[in-house]
Chains A and B, each alone.
Chain A
Amino acid sequence: MNLDLPKYKTSDEVDFVIVGSGAAGGIIAKELSGNGFRVVVLEQGPYLTEADFVHDEVKVMNEDLLTNKPKLQPTSFRKTPSEKAKPRRALVYGRLVGGSSVHFTANFWRFHEIDFVERSKVGPVPGADLRDWPITYADLEPYYTKVEWEIGVSGLAGASPFDPPRSKPYPMPPLPVKGSGVIFERAARQLGWHPFPAPMAILSQSRPGRSACTNCGFCLGFGCEVGAKSSSLATTIRMAEKTGRCEIRPNSYVHRIATDSNGRVTGAVYFDEQRNTHLQKAKAVVICANGAETPRLLLLSASKQFPNGLANSSGIVGKYLMLNSGGVTTAVFEHPINDYKGFAVSRLLHDFYELDPQKVGFCGGGGIDARFDVTPITFAMGGLPPGTPGWGKAFKDTLAHNFNRTMELFCHGTSLAVGTNSFSLDPDLKDAWGLPALCLTYKDHPDDLKLWAFQNQRADELLDAAGAQKKWSQPIQESQFAVHLLGTCRMGNDPKTSVINSDHRTHDVKNLFLCDGSSLVTSGRGQPTMTIEALAFRAADRITSLAKRGDLT
């Protein structure tokens, strides 16, 4: 690509600095630069391209080629705020241009109407702070459609009777069905359920510069070598660069948002690769650093004027974290499924999306998908039935027999917002740059675990109907590790109980915006990225109109 890419000076006050280049950051960069603004995207990770993506499980999984680096970025964990947190690997997120959208599974369900108004529908839930969103599904619908068409989402409109209304079909047909999907579809129909082709942010038809999925089988956890996965790297980052007004600046670790005496932000302070400090000046800042790093950055930006952290007059920055509950039931079938071929998920069902709390005894809902998302080493380490010997002939024989005959059902579900679940700054632990590390405090709401158990029973029923030869479930247990990072700077109308308003503007600072998983008020049913991206398109519209009428200063 021989684009004339802009290089802004740090002293040059650009219109927007965007912190983070993932699912939300990529879209906001594309939209704002497309609307004529001068934009710098500061990304802590490197700028890799398709040529850097490999099928080497050691490089990708063990050496964290695409993700946060535990050695440089240690973390700690505790269940409740009264405990002292212990150093422990507590989360994973994409740390490169494109963020977690590079390595994700690419499940792309929309949220349903209920996710925005659940509190009004079911009333208060003891032990949780369940709230309605300040926007509804109808407000977001045009932006869901925009995501599907702009980045490329495969799917079949109308295939699920539980789907919310949509204004346009998908831009391309679903990906091919996998063996796991056929097994799932047949068994689910036997049970009277409604399986449907999973909407995936993976191309079933090629687009300029991007191949359709070649079914190589290294998908979840890996970067796509042919640009078929609709990551920000393969889509919006490139579109942003094509405007000629957006600079993507990798290896730039933002650790402070600068403010002036009027309480306005003036830019972002970051370390470059050599650990030199810079201040990139900007008229406004949009933080899209994910549901862990966004609150951390606000807390790191505490000052005399903002003693609790920037935009934290409510005291809830980092709180109400939701991780999405649920787990995997694995099954072995008689004949080769060869489910290692292809992307992860081809069939899904939403029959249990909206459950009646009076009947089931908990608040929440979920989706169950059929998949095989593990690569050979990971499978050998963790994919064999419990009790299989760990070495020797029996190990080898089971491995050889099962690899092609194994599939999984993944039960995805709600997490309820609980005030004591949070990301905060660890008081002792420091990262390699000497800054306070992330501390994860988390104890699942009891309803989330009940939902998990409920869905595991449905998974068992489905696998029995399908004639699985063997099945076993991951034990239901409280979370100690975070992948989906949601709710930590949530949206709302009341500055006392939320961090941003429905324009994604922080209640406290007029020219500071937040948009990523942290913005979510509820967790949905397990697949947040589509909603994060729809919010990002909407936020970009809101920010553009505020900026155009001079309402940022």
Chain B
Amino acid sequence: MLNDLSRRNFLTRAGGAVSAVWLSAHWPAIVAAAEHAHQAGKSSAPARFQFFSPEEAAEVDAITARIIPSDETPGAREAGVVYFIDRALTTFAADDQKTYREGLPAVQARTRELFATIPRFSAASPEQQDQVLRSFDEPAGSSRSPRRRIANSSFFQTLRAHTIIGFLIDPDSGTGGNRAGAGWKVIGRDPDHMFQPPFGYYDKDYAGWKPNPPDAEKAKV
């Protein structure tokens, strides 16, 4: 059930944007859709990790924070992407478990290979971390053993995809991703379920439809 607070928020947001007539005409459908979305969103991020050990989670979190870094606006970390990935690996992305089991140690090995004194990825500086990740994202034709490169690159590409998904998925999806709508805030995607025109800069001063000139011929090309 939609709790009172979210219902009130929803009403307030809705009321600010649209006319009463439009609202009364559409209200039942909109309430149903919103209620449904909030239902789905109720199971939020799990309190405990299901797949990762706390140590592994810290490493994955550090990698996602370089894929979508935090700066003036939220990054993967604030969006709870590591929780999303943890849950994904025990549900819809279970096929990728092996990729993570093999990929994470490879990242650690590469970190130590490049920076002998640094014990693990999360302990490296952001610049060093980027250097490690670049070595996995290198283009084809590099000198490393092709087989190893493909396996490692596949881990990085999988993690990259999961990070993007965990950052931008519908915050009401119940997957734990895009926590508090952080990812959508970054891209400017309003989480409302309904919008009224004008939508943006270009349609705000649209004067209305004017017919094509009456002399418009079917000028064939």
Verify that A and B bind, or say they do not: yes
Could you tell me if A177 and B69 are in contact, using CB atoms closer than 8 angstroms?
no
A342 vs B203: C-alpha distance when bound (angstroms):
13
Bitwise, A214-231 to B at CB < 8 A (1) or not (0) is 111100000001110000
A116 to chain B, nearest CB (A): 18
For residue B193, which residues in chain A have a CB less than 8 angstroms away from its CB? 214, 216, 225
Q: What sequence of 0s and 1s flags, for each residue 41-82 of chain A, a beta carbon within 8 Å of any chain B beta carbon?
A: 000000000110011111100110000000000000000000
Interface residues of A in 307-346 (CB under 8 A from B): 333, 335-342
A36 at the interface (CB under 8 A from B): no
Q: Which residues of chain A are near B88, meaning CB under 8 Å?
A: 58
Nearest residue (CB) in A for B27 is A211
A6 to chain B minimum Cβ distance, whole angstroms, is: 28
Q: Which residues of A contact B194 (CB under 8 A)?
A: 214-216
B130 to chain A: closest CB distance in Å? 7
Q: Which of B3-11, B50-58, B144-152, B160-168 lines the interface with chain A?
A: B160-168
Q: Report the tally of A-B residue pairs with Cβ distances under 8 A.
A: 202
Encoded as 1 (CB less than 8 Å from any B CB) or 0, chain A from 351 to 382 comes to 11011100110000000000000001101110
Assess the A381–B92 pair: CB atoms within 8 A. no
List residues of chain A with CB within 8 A of the CB of B109.
none
The listed residue (A159, A196, A356, A391) touching B67 by CB distance below 8 A is A391
B187 touches A403 (CB 8 A): yes
Indicate if A182 sits at the interface (CB-CB under 8 A). yes
B32 interfacial contact with A, CB 8 Å? yes
A304 an interface residue at 8 Å Cβ cutoff?
Answer: no
Bound-state Cα–Cα, A344 to B11, Å: 26
- In the complex where A56-B40, A392-B69 touch, is A179 in contact with B200 (Cβ < 8 A)? yes
Residues of chain A from 167 to 199 with CB closer than 8 A to chain B in the complex: 174, 176-183, 189, 192, 194-197
Closest to A458 in B: B221
Complex contacts, A225 vs chain B, CB 8 Å: 29, 32-33, 36, 193
How many residues of chain B have a CB within 8 Å of chain A?
64
A156–B127 Cα distance when bound, in Å, is: 57
| In the complex, chain B residues whose CB is within 8 Å of the CB of A549 | none
A206 to B175, CA, bound (A): 33
Contact A400 B187 (CB under 8 A): yes
A392/B165 contact (C-beta < 8 A), A335-B200, A340-B189, A376-B187 known:
no
CB <8 Å contact, B218 and A396: no
Within 8 A of A (CB), among B175-204: 175, 183-184, 186-190, 192-203
Chain B residues whose C-beta falls within 8 Å of the C-beta of A351 in the assembled complex: 219, 221
| Closest CB in chain B relative to A177 CB, distance in Å | 6
Residue in A54, A182, A197, A341 whose CB lies within 8 Å of B173 = A54
**Do the beta carbons of A391 and B133 come within 8 Å of each other?**
yes
Smallest CB-CB separation from A175: which chain B residue? B197
Q: For B25, B40, B199, B212, which residue has the most chain A Cβ atoms within 10 angstroms? A: B199
B33 touches A216 (CB 8 A): yes
Contacts A159-B211, A340-B189, A391-B67 given; indicate if A58 touches B169 (C-beta within 8 A).
yes
Rounded to whole angstroms, the CA-CA distance of A174 and B168 in the bound complex is 31
Residue pair A54, B170 in contact (C-beta under 8 Å): yes
- Chain B residues with Cβ below 8 Å from A226 are 26, 29-30, 32-33
List, in ascending order, chain B residues with CB within 8 A of A192's CB. 219
Interface presence of B220 (CB below 8 A): yes
Check if A92 is an interface residue, CB within 8 A of chain B.
no
Of the residues A54, A210, A337, contact of B40 by C-beta under 8 Å: A54
B44 CB to closest chain A CB, in angstroms? 14
Would you call A433 an interface residue if the criterion is a C-beta within 8 Å of the partner chain's C-beta atoms?
no
A465 at the interface (CB under 8 A from B): no
| Contact B199–A183 (Cβ < 8 Å) | no
By a CB distance below 8 angstroms, the chain A residues around B78 are: none
Pair A211/B189 contact, Cβ less than 8 Å:
no
CB under 8 Å from chain B, chain A span 56-113? 56-59, 62-63
Contacts of B192 in A (CB 8 A): 216
Q: What residues on A are CB-neighbors of B133 within 8 Å?
A: 391
Q: Choose among B36, B73, B200 the residue that contacts A404 (Cβ–Cβ < 8 A).
A: B200
Rounded to whole angstroms, the CA-CA distance of A341 and B199 in the bound complex is: 7
Indicate if the CB atoms of B206 and A177 lie closer than 8 Å.
yes
Does B209 lie within 8 Å of A197, measured CB to CB?
Answer: yes
Chain B nearest Cβ from A455, distance in angstroms: 11
A381 and B164 in contact, given A51-B36, A159-B212, A226-B33 (Cβ under 8 angstroms): yes
Which of B169, B170, B196, B218 contacts A162, CB < 8 Å? B218
Nearest CB in chain B to that of A381: its residue: B164
Q: List 14 A-B residue pairs with CB atoms under 8 Å apart, sorted by A's residue number.
A: A160-B212, A161-B218, A195-B212, A196-B212, A212-B26, A225-B33, A226-B30, A336-B188, A338-B199, A342-B199, A376-B169, A391-B133, A392-B130, A400-B188
Instruction: Beyond the given A174-B209, A176-B197, A341-B190, please list 12 additional residue pairs across the A-B interface where CB-CB is below 8 A.
Output: A50-B32, A54-B40, A54-B173, A56-B174, A179-B203, A214-B194, A354-B220, A356-B220, A376-B184, A376-B187, A376-B189, A396-B71
Q: Which 7 pairs from chain A and chain B are nearest by CB?
A: A338-B200, A211-B29, A335-B201, A214-B194, A56-B173, A226-B29, A179-B202
